[in-house]
Amino acid sequence: MILTAKSVLLNLLVVFAPLSIIQVFYLLQHTNFLKRSSKWILTIFPGISIVFCMMYPFVFNDEFILDFRRIPFILGGLYGGHWVAFGYLIVTLGFRYSIGGSGFITTLIFFGGLAIIISFLSPMFKKLDLKHKLLLALALDSVVGWFSAGFSLAFYDTGLPTNVWVVFNITSSIGIIVAILVYEVFISQFNLLNSVMEGQKLKVASHLAASISHEVRNPLTVSRGFLQLIDSDVKDPKTKGYMDLAIKEIDRATDIINDYLTFAKPYPEKYDVIEIERELYTSLNVIQPLATMNDVTITSHIELPSTIIEYEKKKFQQCIMNILKNSIEAMPEGGTLTVEATKKGSKVIITISDTGVGMTPEQLSRIGEPFFTTKEKGTGLGMMVTHSIISAMNGHLSFESKPGKGTTVTIFLEVKESSTTGFAEQSKKGIS
């Protein structure tokens, strides 16, 4: 069989056709099905491409075959990780053995080595930018292609001229580049879709907050005032308990309204000079009684002298307190709350970790959504407001969590230098 354009295009078609189906499943990413299956979707469709490539190969001398199976093998392995790579290896070897012919040993040697290499490179690959992803994938494809060509020419009578191997390997290299580009486009498209959908949710919540919060807060304030007057005249302990409970619930409702107002207007009404180290220690001192009540030990390592930001101090404190309070409440049986703050270049990195119940990946993906909460009596507004404040400060939040292992919240902020120090040393007392 001659390596014709028709045969090449047919084999490339069976490479890309199953991969394109991934886009359909990404469109379902907000359904329960996809949330449960998103980790294995990338595994299945490149695996199908591998099988299809071997079903429709280029056959030479009635026993030696060539195909583009290494394109989906490399793509799925790099994005999916070592388990995916070795899963593909089993599928590839099993199907290749069933076909027969003299190329099985070549497949075993080169795809076995490729799976091992991919298992080490996959974690690094996911962190690279597009340019370096393309270069790494191209390098893997080229190494496998040219070494397998040399091996086949040296040990097998393939009957293939050198120019056929050159065309085949160049085509494969183009194919892996296109495959990476297509998949990266899928990822960027649906990240953009996520951002748009999240933006619409926040916009709705913001409009709702701005339209009703003031009107609701005013009658609550009046009601609280009259309840306090009545409470001062009540003598019956049982009735007094009811009055105290009513006042507390009005205060809770007022706090929720205030959260809505902060979310609707995260940008500061006035700018304060905030010394970050001072505010962190102040927040830790304020939260200490709550931590003690919940048998939580606070440890801190905050070294940010002369580091300031310009923002509204009250809102910055609200942001820190929301995270600290959530961390303590995530440890109902007690635990350790660790606060660390360091500076790298123009960025301050504040890390707040707990040893609490942790969260699942699905719960992590929904943090900051309106009304999403893992607490029985929570509203979800606290983290929504925190996200809004940090974004208004040109910073961002990241979360890491494992069920039963705790949660780590990291805040990244842009800062500038200040010559003011002094308070932090006094504030450290009582916080280890």
Q: Which fold is adopted by the domain 272-427?
A: Heat Shock Protein 90 (3.30.565)
* Least confident span in 51-60, 142-151, 207-216, 319-328: 207-216
**Residue 333 burial (CB count, 10 A):** 10
**Residue 45 burial (CB count, 10 A):** 19
| Count of alpha carbons within 13 angstroms of residue 330, beta-carbon side | 27
Long-range own/partner contacts, residues 61-67 (CB < 8 A, 24 or more apart) = 61/157, 61/158, 61/159, 63/100, 63/101, 63/102, 63/103, 64/101, 64/102, 64/103, 64/152, 64/156, 64/158, 64/159, 64/160, 65/99, 65/101, 65/103, 66/3, 66/168, 67/11
Residue 338 pLDDT: 94
Residue 53 pLDDT: 85
Local confidence band at 409 (pLDDT 50, 70, 90 cut-offs): very high
Cα-based distances in Å from 368 to 184, 202, 379, 392: 26, 9, 11, 14
Local confidence band at 37 (pLDDT 50, 70, 90 cut-offs): very low
Q: Mean of the pLDDT values across residues 377-382?
A: 63
Phi-psi region of 344 (alpha: psi -120 to 50; beta: other; left: phi over 0): beta
Nearest to 67, CA basis, from 22, 136, 13:
13
Residue 341 pLDDT: 92
Q: Which two tokens stand for residue 196?
A: 């748009």
Better pLDDT: 315 or 358:
358
Phi-psi region of 77 (alpha: psi -120 to 50; beta: other; left: phi over 0): alpha
- Specify the pairing of strand 416-417 against strand 406-414: unpaired
Buried b / exposed e along 265-302 (16+ C-beta atoms within 10 A): bbebeeebebbbbbbbbbbbeebeeebeebebebebeb
Q: Mean of the pLDDT values across residues 40-66?
A: 74
Residue 121 pLDDT: 92
Residue 208 pLDDT: 64
Does 337 have pLDDT greater than 90?
Answer: yes
Residue 335 pLDDT: 92
Residue 428 pLDDT: 47
Local confidence band at 425 (pLDDT 50, 70, 90 cut-offs): very low
Residue 34 pLDDT: 47
* Least confident span in 48-62, 160-174, 279-293, 299-313: 48-62
Share above pLDDT 90 across residues of the chain, in percent, rounded to a whole number: 13
Does 422 have pLDDT greater than 50?
Answer: no
Local confidence band at 117 (pLDDT 50, 70, 90 cut-offs): very high
Residue 116 pLDDT: 92
Q: Is the dihedral of CA 160, 164, 165, 168 positive or negative?
A: negative
Q: What are the tens digits of pLDDT across the range 279-295? A: 899 889 888 888 998 89
Among 1.10.287, 3.40.50, 1.10.1760, 1.10.10, name the CATH number for the domain at 5-196. 1.10.1760
